[in-house]
Homo-oligomer: A and B are copies of this chain.
Amino acid sequence: MLSSEEILKIISTEIEKLNAPKAPEGLYLPIKYTLTLSGKRIRPLLTIAAFQMFDNRIHKAIPAALALELFHNFTLLHDDVMDNSPVRRGEPTVHKKWNENTAILSGDAMLIEAYKILAKSEPKYLPKLLDIFNKTALEVCEGQQYDMEFENRNDVQISEYLEMIRLKTSVLIAACLKIGAVLGNAEEEICEKLYDFGIEMGLAFQLQDDLLDTFGTEAQFGKRIGCDILEQKKTYLLLKAYETADEMQKQKLNTLFLGGNISEFDKIQGVTTIFNELKIKEKTMELIEQKHKNALSILNTLKIDEQKKQILYDFAEMLMNRQK
């Protein structure tokens, strides 16, 4: 069994290989640029981690692992255009560094490249892989659509938010695990359980992200703290705050968001103060803890060697304690 570090090293080498120069540069350079920005590579790591629970010839899982990482990076590229985000992982986004047309077209090519690499998987698994991949990819688009629609709605429910992040974030993490297991020829039931484990972990991951955006430290999180507040993003934190706030707190929140004369600093401070009054941090951590527990109990019922599962326990633990 390879350790996470060993797997990540292999992924890094393989991504390097993808980045050979191709013409026209205007199309392929932005793909290389996007792939080179230092991501966490969580998705291919999970694919290979799941695969090696059943088979140690990990070269068999590499095309699918890379395809999933490419797909993830494609979604970031296009999402950044749609959200008009200027920075990603500390560097200018493709539509800022080049232009919007480049971001659209290179993103399209990146999605096709993902399929191209996926198709290098063992032919007998292709129908199943495509089935999972296509379903997941469409769900991720659906999640992004809901996310954009929520911006213009003032009646988003917490249940809707959780469904949105399930689509936008969890299903891909779940698919990575399931695809790894499918390629490892695992039983159907095991594949499904790994998928369900991924859903719970994905939700915990995204909720953690929401939490760090307000309660993290800039040095560790790597992004400016309070962005979600400034953008009035309907995260779990904000929805929970509105759900539990009394009339005065609600009015304060509204004033902070609508008031034109409030500095960014004061806005972040003001909203965070109300979050603190309402114990939003604790409530979010509670929900994260619950998702984490759900994930672990699914993992516990998985009929595989405890030792083989260790990498997934470690992964769950790591996500729970992450500060970035």
Contacts and interface: CB of A to CB of B under 8 A. Distances in A.
Interface of A: 23-24, 26-27, 78, 81-82, 101, 104-105, 107-109, 111-113, 115-116, 119, 123, 126-127, 130-131, 134-135, 137-138, 141-142, 144-146, 148-149
Contacts of A142: 23-24, 27, 109
A145 B26 contact: yes
Contacts of A81: 101, 104
Contact of A145 (B105, B112, B123, B144): B105
Contact of A115 (B26, B113, B130, B146): B130
A234 to B, nearest CB: 16
A131 B119 contact: yes
Nearest to A83: B101
Contact of A116 (B24, B78, B104, B138): B138
Nearest to A133: B115
B101 A148 contact: yes
Given A126-B126, A131-B119, A134-B115, A108 B78 contact: yes
A81 to B, nearest CB: 6
Nearest to A82: B101
Contact of A113 (B111, B138, B144, B146): B138
B108 A27 contact: no
A142 B109 CA distance: 9
Contacts of A112: 111, 134, 137-138, 141
A108 B24 contact: no
A104 B138 CA distance: 14
B104 A104 contact: yes
B119 A130 contact: yes
A108 B108 CA distance: 7
A23 B167 CA distance: 13
Contacts of A130: 115-116, 119, 126
Contacts of A146: 24
A235 to B, nearest CB: 20
A29 to B, nearest CB: 11
Contacts of A78: 104-105, 108
A27 B141 contact: yes
Interface centre among A27, A82, A116, A141 (most CB of B within 10 A): A141
Contacts of A116: 130, 134-135, 138
A149 B105 CA distance: 12
A290 to B, nearest CB: 27
Contacts of A138: 109, 112-113, 116
Contact of A111 (B27, B101, B111, B149): B111
Contact of A144 (B105, B111, B131): B105
